[in-house]
Amino acid sequence: MKQYLLSVHFVEGAPAPSDDEMQTMFAETGRINDEMQAAGAWVFGGGLLSPDSATVVRVESGATTMSDGPFAETKEHIAGFWVIRCEDLDQALAWAEKCAAACGPVEVRPFDDLSQA
C-alpha cells in the first residue's frame, strides 16, 4: 500500500464561506473521515489554523532564525490535510474527489517510497 497526502487549499481573498456553508463542510468532512476510517484508508488528518499563525524556522551557517510565516508568499495555502493509504493513485484520486466536493480544491501527492520503509 502506498501513502498519499490530500491537502485542502484555501485561496486568500476568496469570499469566505457563510457559517451555514462551514457547518455543511464540517459535516461532510466528518462523514468522509468516518468513511475513510471504515475502509482502512485513514492514517491521519487535520485542519490547520490560518497562515498568519505560522512560524518559519531556518538554520543557516549554524544559526537558527525564526520569523512570522507563512514560508511562501502566495495566495493559496494549505488549510488541512489527510494522509491516506491506498492501493494506487486512482484510489487516492477517488478519495480526493469526495474530499474536494466537501471542502474545496484538494491536491494529491504520493509519499516518496523511501519514506514508507
Give the number of domains in the chain: 1
**pLDDT tens profile 32-79:** 999 999 999 999 999 888 888 888 899 999 999 998 877 777 777 788
- Report the pLDDT averaged over residues 3-7: 91
pTM for this prediction:
0.80
pLDDT of 117 reads 52
On the question of pLDDT at 94 being above 80, the answer is yes
Give the CATH number of the domain where residue 8 resides.
3.30.70.1060
Mean pLDDT, the chain, integer: 88
Give strand pairing partners of 7: 81, 107
pLDDT of 41 reads 96
Domain boundaries, position 34: 2-116
**DSSP result, 11-24:** ETTSPPPPHHHHHH
